[in-house]
Amino acid sequence: MNFIDSERSKILVVDDHPASRMTAVALLSVEGYDIVEAHSGPAALDCVKQANPDLILLDVMMPGMDGFEVCHRLKQEEQTRLIPIIFITALNDRRSRIRGIECGGDDFLTKPFDHLELSARVKSLVRQKRLNEDLDHAEKVLFSIARTIESRDPNTGNHCDRLVDLSQVFGEYLNLSRPDIRDLMWGGYLHDIGKVGIPDNVLLKKGRLNSSEWEIMKQHVVIGEQICKPLRTMRGVLPIIRHHHERWDGSGYPDGLAGPDIPFIAQVFQVIDIYDALTSERPYKAAFSPEKALEILAEETERGWRNPKLVEHFSSFIRRMHSGENNISIGQGAKSWPRRSGIAVPNLLPEVARLGFTS
Ligand code: SIN
Ligand code: FE
């Protein structure tokens, strides 16, 4: 048996005409759905908050707040954006259909309802919603794990938040596409997720790693890639996870890629990652000034480790940022981003500590 179908789904029917609501309610009750009703836009918004429905049948024309507005608001909210919305429109109302798509509606039905059509669409959208939720939860699990690993590592502090911030502004500075910027930002959280597979005596070792310990540590990029690979939405982040320790001259790991063979997004991420590590305080070193950090990056570039053009861009970006030119500033990214991308990132370590698994 498919467990998706074994839970009763809840449907919200929104229409200002009681008679229209009754028809839909009657048809859906027969199908075994739980029904909630609302007679207006604002009542619908309240209902959604309280009842958390699996699908909404939404009339377009309602006095006060129309269906488009209701849909628009729900699709913008993190809590409600995954609830499928079927608009109820008049037959052949092309303009309404276009507007409905524009404000995020998922499907349309015309009155009077065709029983079979209503039933088929509702069923398929509810199923789709459950799958989307599962994917959403899987993503959140990965981000939580990444966050938790970070907080166990005495070296990193709030490294990830800062990486997300810098990734956004530097990505925009380089004119990268929206999806690339998103991947860079996700990389900020996820690049070292593979450290979950590194034993504590290596990961948390104080002092230098010996060569066999290094070999173990290097595995984190491959482990991380394996962890994130099954999720299609992670595809763009995989090159960052796998290749963020490659070097321009081919002396890096895991593949020893050289020059432009290293995926560009991984090169960009690496420069940000290193810069942040240099400018942050670590147990074994004080924070370097931006100027000093750029100097070290330049030295590493001369040694052949980094892409000279990219490091040049990065240096002028940092200098501009610190001179306040071009209104570049950071600090907004990590705060505004989790909301926009739908990922709130809890750190689970306090929970784990409470359970007594860590010291
Ligand atoms: C890390 O990924 O932060 C540690 C491993 C390395 O620096 O190569
Ligand atoms: Fe790493």
3-state helix, strand, coil in the chain (%, to 5): 60, 5, 30
Q: What angle do CA 108, 57, 120 make, to 5 degrees?
A: 60
Answer whether the bond into residue 112 is a cis peptide, omega within 30°: yes
pLDDT reported for residue 270: 98
Instruction: Evaluate whether 263 touches 276 at the Cβ level (below 8 Å).
Output: no
Residue 53 and residue 11 in contact, taking contact as beta carbons nearer than 8 Å:
yes
Question: Does one domain contain both 59 and 157?
Answer: no
Q: In angstroms, what CA-CA distances link 187 with 226, 242, 288, 297? A: 15, 11, 24, 20
128-152 tens-digit pLDDT? 999 988 888 888 899 888 888 888 8
The Cβ of residue 175 has, within 10 Å, a number of other Cβ atoms equal to 8
Q: Which residue's CA is the closest to the ligand 1 atom numbered 2?
A: 192
Same structural domain, 26 and 157:
no
Q: Answer whether residue 144 is part of any domain.
A: no
Task: State the Cα angle at 273 between 268 and 238, rounded to 5°.
Answer: 60
| pLDDT at residue 206 tops 90 | no
Report the Cα–Cα distance between both ends of the chain, in Å, rounded. Answer: 43
- Mean pLDDT, all residues of the chain: 87
Has residue 339 got a pLDDT over 80? no
What's the Cα-to-Cα distance from 159 to each of 277, 302, 338, rounded to whole Å? 8, 26, 16
> Is the CB of 192 inside a 6 Å radius of any atom of ligand 1?
yes
Q: Which of 50-59, 131-140, 154-163, 250-259 has the lowest mean pLDDT?
A: 154-163
Beta carbons within 8 Å of 110's beta carbon, 6+ residues apart: 88, 89, 90, 91, 92, 93
The whole-number pLDDT of residue 6 equals 53
pLDDT for 148 equals: 86
Residues 89 and 58 in one domain: yes
Tell whether ligand 1 has an atom less than 6 A from the beta carbon of residue 245: yes
Question: How confident is residue 249, by pLDDT bands cut at 50, 70 and 90?
Answer: very high
pLDDT (tens digit, 9 = 90+) per residue, 35-64?
999 999 999 999 999 999 999 999 999 999
Whether the CA torsion 195, 198, 201, 207 is positive or negative: it is: negative
Q: Cα torsion for 161, 162, 165, 167, to the nearest 10°?
A: -110
Supply the residue whose CA is at minimum distance from atom 1 of ligand 1: 192
pLDDT-based confidence at residue 3 (cuts at 50, 70, 90)? very low
123 carries an active-site annotation: no
Strand partners, 13: 37, 57
Does residue 5 lie within any of the structural domains? Answer: no
C-alpha distance from residue 92 to each of 50, 69, 109, 118, 349 (Å): 34, 21, 10, 17, 55
Indicate if the pLDDT at residue 201 is higher than 80.
yes
Task: Please give the torsion angle defined by the CA atoms of residues 212, 213, 217 and 218, in that order, rounded to the nearest 10 degrees.
Answer: -20
Q: CA 255 to CA 250: how far, in whole Å?
A: 8
Measured in Å, residue 221 CA sits from the centre of ligand 2 at: 6
Tell me, yes or no, if the pTM score tops 0.85.
Answer: no
Q: What is the pLDDT of residue 90?
A: 76
138 belongs to a structural domain: no
Is the confidence at residue 353, as pLDDT, over 90?
no
Distance (Å, whole) CA 338 – CA 3: 31
pLDDT (0 to 100) of residue 157: 67
Catalytic site residue from 49, 111, 123, 195: 195
**128 and 182 part of one domain:** no
Whether 217 is in the pocket of ligand 1, judged by its Cβ within 6 Å, is yes
pLDDT at 325: 62
For residues 114 and 161, membership in a common domain is answered with no
Residue 343 pLDDT: 39
Span 333-359, average pLDDT: 39
Tokens of 142: 């990965």
Q: Which ligand is nearest to the CA of 214?
A: 1
- In this structure, of 93-102, 170-179, 246-255, 291-300, the range with the lowest mean pLDDT score is 93-102
274-314 confidence digits (pLDDT tens)? 999 999 988 778 899 999 999 999 999 999 999 999 999 99
Indicate whether 3 belongs to any domain: no
One domain for residues 256 and 316: yes
- Domain tally, the chain: 2
**Confidence (pLDDT) at 217:** 97
Residue 199, classed as helix, strand or coil, is coil
Rounded to the nearest angstrom, the distance between the alpha carbon of 142 and the centre of ligand 1 is: 19
Kindly indicate the confidence band of residue 329, based on its pLDDT and cuts at 50, 70 and 90.
Answer: low
Domain of residue 305, CATH code: 1.10.3210.10
Q: How confident is the model at residue 341 (pLDDT cuts 50, 70, 90)?
A: very low
Decide: helix, strand or coil at residue 136.
Answer: helix
Residue 43 in domain: yes
Contact 166/272 with Cβ under 8 angstroms? yes
Which of 94-108, 126-140, 246-260, 342-356 has the highest mean predicted lDDT (pLDDT)? 246-260
80: Cα separation from own chain's centroid: 16
49 plus 177 within the same structural domain = no
270 and 319 fall within a common domain: yes
Residue-number span of the structural domain to which 23 is assigned? 10-133
The yes-or-no verdict on residue 86 having pLDDT over 70 is yes
Residue range 117-130: mean pLDDT, rounded: 93
Tens of pLDDT, residue by residue over 212-238, are 999 999 999 999 999 999 999 999 999
Own/partner contacts of 38-43, CB < 8 Å, gap of 24 or more, are: 38/12, 38/13, 38/14, 39/14, 39/15, 40/14, 40/16, 40/64, 40/65, 41/14, 41/65, 41/66, 41/67, 41/69, 41/70, 43/14
